[in-house]
Amino acid sequence: MRISSITGSLCVIVVALFTGSLAAPPKPCASKVKEAVAPPRGWIKHGTPAPDHTIVLRIGLPQPDFHILEKHLYEVSDPYHHRYGAHLSKEEVETLVAPHQNSIDAVDEWLASHGIKESELVRSPAKDWVTLKVPVSLAEKMLDTTYQVWEHTNGDHIVRTTSYSLPENLHEHIDVIQPTTMFGQFKGSKSTIVWADENDVSAVQSSEPFVDPVSGVVVDPSCNTTITITCLQQLYNAIGFIPSAPGNSVGITGYLEEFANIQDLQSFYADQRPDALNSSFTFLSVKGGLNSQNLSDAGVEAGLDVQFAFGLSHPIPATFYSTAGRPPFKPDIGTPTDTNEPYTDWLDFILSQEKPPLSISTSYGDDEQTVPKSFALRACAGFAQLGARGVSLMFASGDGGVGDNDPNPATQQCFTNDGRNATRFIPGFPASCPFVTAVGGTTRVPEVAVSRFFSGGGFSDFFARPAYQEQAVSSYLAALPKGTYKGLFNPNGRAFPDVAAQSDRFRIFLSGRPILIGGTSASSPAFAGIVALLNDVRLSKGLPPLGFLNPLIYSKAASGFNDITIGHNSGCGTTGFNATQGWDPVTGLGTPNFGKLKELILPFPG
């Protein structure tokens, strides 16, 4: 007698007699709720989607050896470990995140029981994700749920459900299925535009340059009013450095139909980086993402990102990724684009590449609480895979301070999304993922925490505080007056941002005109440009790239940052946290001093 494993949507006990006949007919499996959320704040039911509305389901299978990958990641990212810099190959990473075969078989049998063929499935290289397109009527049957069209108070629409179920025996074989319970509003992190030709403060200068007392470098006084490539080079002690090492690379991610205009880039180069004129970037489309070159289609977010990241790191080879997918849609135009957060599509794509860029910046994100924890954990694990392969990932920490810098309490979004509507600081994701480097914002010279908007920062409700920041964050918390903001944040959570950079009044070109723009969407690409220069230092000496930065910057390289001690990050009707000596949840460890860091990232002499 042999009893088979229980798989698929039927609980089947197979008794293999000599004749091979079944001893008993199949018994249906009982469904059990896999995930449920409270009706989300700001969303109301708008209607019912058409039965033939198409949903792209992403099924995440367990990664039983992820803890081994995480161990590798921390070893190769620790400057005091003998394996520092020994990054894993694409194939080694895929082996460590692959699901067990019994999970693959169980999911395949379940899908087959609903008439879904192997040819209709798209698998990730590690087979830990399965993607398929199904009508909503079939998705409802598979997940024992009912989808609704939901409308947000800002007019956005999505097709989602507040819970879904799976056959009980499948729970151990599936981590997450989306889109189901995700009500995020994936958005860029940028502040108000100032048209430079209407309010051109670049001409406001005093007559003499001065020495920044924090970094010790000479800075032109115009940098107090307008940030240029030269300002960043001066502020961060990178004047005169010309990268030249082969094998280096830098990348920018683009979403939400934000197009990087090459004519604007050339105008920017003519204005600030004439030696880069006639150079450009490689464009890569993800899931059909476009990059229209009509000047009227130029995106302010994309323009800011590519102009400063690529301008600061020139001539390092640069790539711009445009990922299709805009979750909100109008439910009356047939079957629209209505997917998961598009950065997961980008993750699928970039993880399949043999040589991803070594320094990558993303200026987009969500409120952490609008992303189901199961999904956040899996997306974060994808970022860890890139880190293990030697990629440095920077994410903007957001511009809402500790949650929302809206001064009107009636419209603030500083409440829990669990049905309680309790007041809470709201961390951002992916900045809260412990496997990325979150970048906060500063302004002026000497630098202070940005005040025209507020540098996103705080403590994750999903991710525990990683060991690499335990000492720095514990010191900060110990210095807080007892009871400060008690109950408003998780003092044991992953703390962010990790670092900061200038983030206000960046002079860029948009649709042929100069403008001033700010936000942590400016500080993240600026920091990514500095990381690309640091990679050049290592590569030129035959050393591997930096990879996952955080274990390095919280230890050996901590003294290479300019400590920011003035300012705060208001939000949720409070003044938020204060910038202070050492790490703080406003500016992290501070802003980079390239002159110091380029020495700290090299091996100890001897």
**Model pLDDT for residues 490-538, shown as the tens digit of each residue:** 999 999 999 999 999 999 999 999 999 999 999 999 999 999 999 999 9
CB 312 within 8 A of CB 229: yes
SS3 106: helix
Q: Which residues pair with 163 in a beta bridge?
A: 36
- For the chain, the 3-state helix, strand and coil shares in percent, each to the nearest 5, are 30, 25, 50
Q: How far is CA 420 from the centre of its chain?
A: 27
For residues 377-403, give the mean pLDDT. Answer: 96
SS3 32: strand
**DSSP for 496-545?**
E--EEEE-S-EEEEETTEEEEE-SHHHHHHHHHHHHHHHHHHHHHTTPPP
CB 350 within 8 A of CB 34: no
| Cβ-Cβ contacts under 8 Å for 125 (sequence gap 6 or more) | 90, 94, 351, 352
Catalytic residue among 301, 338, 341, 345: 301
CA-to-CA distance for 265 and 242, rounded, in angstroms? Answer: 20
Name the average pLDDT for the chain.
89
Helix (H) or strand (E) holding 418: none
Catalytic residue among 521, 523, 524, 570: 521
Question: Could you tell me which of 54, 147, 48 has the C-alpha nearest to residue 335?
Answer: 54
Catalytic residue among 35, 140, 305, 338: 305
Q: Tell me, what's the pLDDT at 30?
A: 87
301 is catalytic: yes
521 is catalytic: yes
Q: Which residues pair with 254 in a beta bridge?
A: 322
Nearest 5°: phi and psi at 298? -60, 135
pLDDT band of 84, cuts 50, 70, 90: very high
SS3 88: coil
CA-to-CA distance for 603 and 407, rounded, in angstroms? Answer: 48
pLDDT band of 412, cuts 50, 70, 90: low
Tokens at 451, concatenated: 């005040």
CB 200 within 8 A of CB 192: no
CB 257 within 8 A of CB 545: no
Domains of the chain, start order: 31-63+98-183 (no CATH), 196-248+341-600 (3.40.50.200)
For residues 475-500, give the mean pLDDT. Answer: 97
pLDDT band of 206, cuts 50, 70, 90: low
pLDDT band of 102, cuts 50, 70, 90: very high
CB 149 within 8 A of CB 318: no
CB 424 within 8 A of CB 414: yes
The three-state (H, E, C) secondary structure of 451-501, written as one string: CCCECCCEEEEEEECCHHHHHHHHHHHHHCCCCCCCCCCCCCEEEECCEEE
Neighbours of 104 (CB within 10 A): 18
Q: Tell me, what's the pLDDT at 493?
A: 98
Q: Is the pLDDT of residue 255 over 70?
A: yes
Q: Which residues of 491-515 are buried (b: 16+ CB within 10 A; e: fewer)?
A: eebbbbbbbbbbbbbbbbbbbeebb
Summarize the annotated binding site for Ca(2+) as residue ranges: 563-564, 582, 584
Q: Is the pLDDT of residue 17 over 60?
A: no
Query: What is the value of pTM for the model shown?
Result: 0.93
Q: What is the dihedral of CA 308, 310, 313, 316, to 10 degrees?
A: 180
Residue-wise pLDDT tens digits, 266-319? 999 999 999 999 999 999 999 999 999 999 999 999 999 999 999 999 999 999
406 is catalytic: no
The three-state (H, E, C) secondary structure of 186-225, written as one string: CEECCCCCEECCCCCHHHCCCCCCEECCCCCCEECHHHHC
Q: Is the pLDDT of residue 191 over 90?
A: no
CB 128 within 8 A of CB 103: no
Summarize the annotated binding site as residue ranges: 563-564, 582, 584
